[in-house]
Chain A
């Protein structure tokens, strides 16, 4: 069965420093992978997605993620954190051909950005 593990429940960085949010997945087939962001008391917004094309994916607001099949990872990075990046981030896996339509979320990583 497919699953997603976000390795850190909370990450704290200073403004202007790099961000790394880690995600490992388990899937029996070639999955699609997504990162979503949720600001406090808001809905979910797509940051980026991987769909078996380029392994380095660029998203909105300067975020990017690299799909590494050998490591079953899809870590999210940003070179320089901004105060507005403070939010909760979710890694999501979709493997509809083998899993009948399920869209599975990781537990989330809360990102804090210090001035």
Chain B
């Protein structure tokens, strides 16, 4: 049982390049999230999804897009990467009931130069 898997684990981009981060879960959870983690700022919510075909903005959505075409996958896209998007990105999945813990991927370390 893999839980939540993020691909890739590391990536270096040049400013202006685009990329997609993939989050895959095998727990059949309805809710999925993308966060970025920066020193001293905790995890900030970028976008989230409460079900297949639905997405919503979080605290810091600018510069990112997401898609949830399949229940098990949640994609995070950067159309034109900027150095300010250098961060560690975490994906999470959880059940609809608010008392369920969230399961996290191992993170993607992205550097934009």
Query: A residues near B, CB below 8 A?
Result: 6, 9, 31-32, 34, 42-44, 46, 49, 51-52, 90, 92, 94-97, 100-108
- Do A43 and B107 have beta carbons less than 8 Å apart? yes
Q: In chain B, residues 30-87, which have Cβ atoms closer than 8 Å to a Cβ of chain A? A: 31, 33, 35, 40-45, 48-50, 56, 58
What's the tally of chain B residues with a CB closer than 8 Å to chain A?
A: 27
Known pairs A103-B45, A103-B94, A108-B42; A34 contacts B56 (CB<8 A): no
- Do A107 and B41 have beta carbons less than 8 Å apart? yes
Q: Which B residues lie within 8 Å of A104 (CB)? A: 45
- Do B48 and A102 have beta carbons less than 8 Å apart? yes
Known pairs A43-B107, A96-B96, A107-B40; A102 contacts B45 (CB<8 A): yes
- Do A43 and B106 have beta carbons less than 8 Å apart? yes
Q: Which B residues lie within 8 Å of A107 (CB)? A: 40-42
- Do B43 and A34 have beta carbons less than 8 Å apart? no
Q: Which B residues lie within 8 Å of A97 (CB)? A: 98
User: What is the minimal beta-carbon distance from B30 to any residue of chain A, in angstroms?
Assistant: 9
Verify if B23 is at the interface (C-beta below 8 Å from A).
no
- Do B92 and A103 have beta carbons less than 8 Å apart? yes
What are 22 residue pairs bridging A and B, where the CB atoms are less than 8 Å apart in the complex?
Answer: A9-B40, A32-B98, A34-B101, A42-B106, A43-B106, A43-B107, A44-B104, A49-B99, A52-B99, A94-B99, A95-B98, A96-B31, A101-B49, A102-B58, A103-B45, A103-B48, A103-B94, A104-B45, A105-B35, A105-B43, A107-B40, A108-B40
A92 to B97 Cα, complex, angstroms: 15
A31 to B102 Cα, complex, angstroms: 15
A97's nearest neighbour on chain B, judged by CB, is B98
B51's nearest neighbour on chain A, judged by CB, is A101
Q: Which B residues lie within 8 Å of A100 (CB)? A: 50, 56
A108 to B56 Cα, complex, angstroms: 24
User: What is the minimal beta-carbon distance from B43 to any residue of chain A, in angstroms?
Assistant: 4
Q: Which B residues lie within 8 Å of A34 (CB)? A: 101-102
Q: Which B residues lie within 8 Å of A103 (CB)? A: 31, 33, 45, 48, 92, 94, 102
A106 to B33 Cα, complex, angstroms: 16
